[in-house]
Amino acid sequence: MLEQYIQAIEENNIVSKTDINGIITFVNDEFCKISKYSREELIGKNHNIVRHPDVPKKIFKKLWDTILSKKIYKATVKNLAKDGSVFYVNTTVIPILNEKGEILEFIAIRYDVTKAVENSNKLLEKEQELENLNLTLEERIKKQTEQLKKLNTNLEERIKKEVEKNREKDRIMFQQARFASMGEMIGNIAHQWRQPLSELDILLFNLKKSFFIQNDKHKFTIYYKSSQKVIKRMSQTIDDFRNFFKQNKEKSQIDVQKLIKEAILIIKETFKSNNIKIIFNIKNSIIINGHKNELLQVVLNILNNAKDALILNKTEDRKIFIDIKKEKSVKIIICDNGGGIKKDIIDKIFDPYFTTKHSSQGTGIGLYMSKKIIEQNGGAIDVYNNCDGACFEIKL
């Protein structure tokens, strides 16, 4: 039975025996197979023939300490085969004692765990790789984030600069628009004054006549008072225009109907001399909150554009219709019969510096400014053609 036991163990295990000094006295076939040594090469040699240099000395010390104190030693050991290949064995070293309890020899029973160890080593390697990758990933993400941050601040900086530039551009444009409308205004004043000036001319002649020729005090007083009235009217005109150029930053209550009337008052004479009729008969006052002069400027821009279109189109019966609607929002609708705007440019008319007029006639900022003004105040401005002209809709 003992023989059979031994056979059973030897069949599946790597078995060796050494004497008390570690000299090999027995090896089974499995030992020879795994160590690549022949039996003859092993018997009589120290067991450290299969020792791997990687295994630290203290492991062997522990082995010897254990088995010399007659205890069983168990460990997984890395070994070196004759051909230099590495194998791992799960090792149990059992000291064999005689009847007196003295160590006779050692039996080592092992089984091959190379595959398992290699697999777990590979796993460890992969884990390490992964860890390294993770580390570098973190590093890389950090770097990328850093770069992105830099880019972001640069971008912010650039956007800030661009916005600043745009603001500056708009400021210059506002200025240009002001100058342009100032030119127009002077034209309007000239028109507005033509009539009273000729009236004054006649009045002065009559004054002179009543004083020097007729010597009529009563007539003189009448002419004098009339002259004063005319001068007052002229001075009022100046005041109206001056008001328009006043910068009022504060929002105020605006009566839209009154504002349209004011706009008409400013351009009335110029339009009259160009045979343009303005049709506006809204009686209800609609009050909104906003910047009065800005809105006035927008209305004037649109009216002046309509005037230009009517003149250019040589429209016979020149008309401008102004309508105010109060629905969800307040709408000012200004339509003319000047032929309308060509389809291929209608999308561009609000662009800065877009104009179809000669450079002495237009700069192309009127509508750009108008749109800016209206949108800055939360409104919208729209354009479309009706049957015989263009319509501008200001939504407030």
Pairing assessment for the beta strands 252-255 and 86-97 based on DSSP bridges: unpaired
Residue from the set 92, 311, 362, 382 that interacts with ligand ATP by CB under 6 A: 362
Stretch that binds ligand ATP, among 11-19, 92-100, 271-279, 359-367 (CB under 6 A): 359-367
- Least gap, CB of 362 to Mg ion (angstroms): 5
Strand ranges for 193-328 from DSSP E:
252-255, 277-279, 287-290, 319-326
Is position 305 an interface residue for ligand ATP (rule: CB under 6 A)?
A: yes
CB closer to ligand ATP, 18 vs 370 = 370
Burial of residue 282 (CB within 10 Å: 0-12, 13-18, 19+) is: middle
- Least gap, CB of 341 to ligand ATP (angstroms): 4
CB closer to ligand ATP, 241 vs 354 = 354
Q: Which secondary structure element, helix H or strand E, spans residue 15, and what is its range?
A: strand 14-18
Report what 363 binds from Mg ion, ligand ATP, none; CB cut-off 5-8 Å by kind: ligand ATP
- Least gap, CB of 381 to Mg ion (angstroms): 13
Report what 390 binds from Mg ion, ligand ATP, none; CB cut-off 5-8 Å by kind: ligand ATP
Q: In what order do the strands lie in the sheet with 14-18?
A: 24-27, 14-18, 103-112, 86-97, 73-80
CA of residue 375 relative to chain centroid, distance: 21
Residues 310-339 that bind ligand ATP (CB under 6 A): 336, 338
CB 262 within 8 A of CB 240: yes
Size of the site for ligand ATP (CB under 6 A): 21
Stretch that binds Mg ion, among 87-95, 249-257, 338-346, 366-374 (CB under 5 A): 366-374
CB closer to ligand ATP, 35 vs 305 = 305
Whole-angstrom distance, CA of residue 16 vs CA of residue 31 = 7
Whole-angstrom distance, CA of residue 393 vs CA of residue 367 = 12
Report what 338 binds from Mg ion, ligand ATP, none; CB cut-off 5-8 Å by kind: ligand ATP
CB closer to Mg ion, 237 vs 305 = 305
Report what 187 binds from Mg ion, ligand ATP, none; CB cut-off 5-8 Å by kind: none
Residue from the set 295, 365, 373, 396 that interacts with ligand ATP by CB under 6 A: 365
Q: Which secondary structure element, helix H or strand E, spans residue 383, and what is its range?
A: strand 380-385
Q: What separation, in Å, do the N-terminal and C-terminal C-alpha atoms of the chain show?
A: 111
Nearest partner of 350 among 311, 393, 312, judged by Cα: 393
- Least gap, CB of 266 to Mg ion (angstroms): 15
Is position 366 an interface residue for Mg ion (rule: CB under 5 A)?
A: yes
Residues 162-181 that bind ligand ATP (CB under 6 A): 180
Residue from the set 144, 182, 357, 376 that interacts with ligand ATP by CB under 6 A: 357
CB burial readout 48-70, b (16+ within 10 A) else e:
eebeeeeeeeeeeeebeebbeee
Residue from the set 367, 374, 381, 394 that interacts with ligand ATP by CB under 6 A: 367
Q: Which secondary structure element, helix H or strand E, spans residue 306, and what is its range?
A: helix 292-312
Stretch that binds ligand ATP, among 1-9, 31-39, 322-330, 348-356 (CB under 6 A): 348-356
Burial of residue 18 (CB within 10 Å: 0-12, 13-18, 19+) is: buried
Q: List residues near ligand ATP by CB under 6 A.
A: 180, 301, 305-306, 309, 336, 338, 341, 349, 354-357, 362-368, 390
